[in-house]
Structure formats: structure tokens, C-alpha cells
Structure 1
Amino acid sequence: MIKVLFVCLGNICRSPMGEAVFRHKVIEAGLEGQIQVDSAGTGDWHIGDKPHKGTLGMLSHHGIDDQGLFARQVNSRDFSDFDYIIAMDASNVTNLQSFVQQGELNKANIYKMLDFLPESTVKDVPDPYFTGNFEEVYDMINKSSDRLLAHIRNQHQI
């Protein structure tokens, strides 16, 4: 099983959107038995909460299931449990380093979401919690998810 974790700050806007969009693409590709998807936040403010209403609205608008999305915080085990950790911005990548225990097995490949959209002039997915730009964020995540799935399929020959 290939495991993919999407990470943002609070796990209520960008990363649950990434989780839901990517899971939708995995199911459409018939790969749900081979790829597992989750999300988490680097902060602990929203643990147990459903995603932001803006995220839920975008998912609903695009016909993407939001069942099972509840905020959780990243933990040190995620670095050995997941093959891919996809951060939404550079700050998330920096914050992720504080969760890795010294000497702990780290199998995860850490990327930023927009690493998979190299033609983008923007390198970080902006946080719609502060900007309200959920449609723009959805577009970035949707396009990047196509490329991420292609990357995983190529790397794992599936």
C-alpha cells in the first residue's frame, strides 16, 4: 500500500481539500486498493473538527466526497508510516521537521504540493483561511493532484 499524507497548518482548509481531491482521483483511477490517502496539520487548534465551510463548499461544488475528513495533528510516526508527505507551503515543510525524532526511521518523501505544478509562478498554495480564495486553491490542488498521481504511478509502476 502506497500512503500519501497532505499537510497544512490547521488541517481544515488546504490539506483536507488535498486529501479529498486526491482520494477522488485515486478512486477514479481504480487504485483505491493500492493508494491510501490522509491529511494532517502541523498545529493542534482544530483537532477533531470538520473542514472549513469554504473547503466543504468547493468539494461539494465539484462532486467530491467529504466523508471521514476530521482534523488531526502530524505526529512523528507519520514519517515512517507514509511514503509521501505533501506540504502546502514552505512553512509547513519547516514545521514538519520539528516532528521528526532524532534517529527515527524516515521513509517519507516530502514535497510541496506545487512541486508537481512546475509551470506555476506561485510556489506555495496560499491559505484560504486568511484569503478566502478557495476556488484558486482548489484549482491548484486539482491540477497538482493529477501530476502527483502520475508521478506515483510512474514511480511504483501501477
Structure 2
Amino acid sequence: MIKVLFVCLGNICRSPMAEAVFRNHVKNVGLSDRIVVDSAGTGDWHVGHTPHEGTRKILDQYGIDYSGMFARQVSTEDFNDFKYIIAMDDMNVTNLTPLFPTDHQAEVKKLLEFVPKHAGGDVPDPYYTGNFEEVYEMVDEGCVNLLKYIREQQGL
């Protein structure tokens, strides 16, 4: 089983959007039995909350399921449980770094490393900008390319 974890600050906007979008792409190519998808936040402010209203609205607009999703905080164990940990921005990577166990198995990358026109930049936080459509477009393209990368790496 290949496990992918998306990480943002509070786990209510970007990372749950990426989780839902990526899960949808995985389902569409028939790999739901091979790839498990989750999301978490580096902070604990929203633990137990559903995705942000703006995230829910954009996912509804595109017909993407997010049922059963609740915010959680990333843990040290995630670095051994997940093969791929995908952060939304540099601050998330910085916040994750102290949690890295010395022998962790995870491949930690930023989502926009998979979006050539953004060349590894940061996914802006729509919690502050309100631009959920722009974030959705970045997340969707990143997820398509991430899935392609994982399929090539894993021979799927």
C-alpha cells in the first residue's frame, strides 16, 4: 500500500483540498486499492474540524467528495507510515523538519515541485487570500503530476 500525506498549516483549506482532489484522481485511474491518501496540519488549532467552507464550496463545484474528512495534526509516526509527505509551502516544510525521525522513510516534497510553471513555489493559503479557485487550479495540476510521478516510481 502506497500512502500519501498532504500537509498545510491548519488542515482545513489546502491540504484537505489536495487530499480530496488527489483521492479523486486516484479513484479515476482505478488505484484506490493501492494508494491511500490523508492530510494533516502542522498546527493544532482546527483539530477535529471539517474542511473550511471555501474548500468545501470549491470541491462541491467540481463534484469532488470530501465526506468524512476532519482536521488532524501531523505526528512523528507519519514519517514512517507515509511514503510521500507533500507540503503546501516552505513554512510547512520548516515546521515538519523537527519532527523528522532520523530513520524516516518518507519522501518530503512541496506540491508545486510538480507544477512546472510555479517551479516549486508555495501554494498560497486561501484562508488569508480567499482565492480558493486559484488554489484549486494549482492543487489539481500538482495532484495530476504527483500521481504521474508516483505511478512511474512505483510501476503502477
Name the counterpart of 2:123: 125
Instruction: Provide the secondary structure at the position in 2 that maps to 1:86.
Output: strand
Could you report, residue by residue, the CA deviation over 1:29-48 in whole angstroms, capped at 9, with x for unpaired residues?
A: 00000000000000000000
Query: How many residues are paired up?
Result: 156
Deviation at 1:127, TM superposition (A): 0.2
- 1-structure distance, mates of 2:120, 2:95: 20
Deviation at 1:122, TM superposition (A): 7.0
TM normalised by structure 2 equals 0.97
Runs of 4 or more consecutive aligned structure 1 residues displaced over 3 Å after TM superposition: none
TM normalised by structure 1 equals 0.96
Instruction: Provide the secondary structure at the position in 1 that maps to 2:19.
Output: helix
Instruction: Provide the secondary structure at the position in 1 that maps to 2:97.
Output: helix
Could you report, residue by residue, the CA deviation over 1:112-157 in whole angstroms, capped at 9, with x for unpaired residues?
A: 0000012226710000000000000000000111000000000000
Paired letter, 1:146: V
- 1-structure distance, mates of 2:116, 2:105: 24
**Residue ranges of structure 2 left out of the alignment (5+ in a row):** none
Name the counterpart of 1:140: 138
**Residue ranges of structure 1 left out of the alignment (5+ in a row):** none
CA 157–121 in structure 1, closer or farther in 2 if over 3 Å, else same = closer
Deviation at 1:68, TM superposition (A): 1.5
Instruction: Provide the secondary structure at the position in 1 that maps to 2:122.
Output: coil
Name the counterpart of 1:11: 11
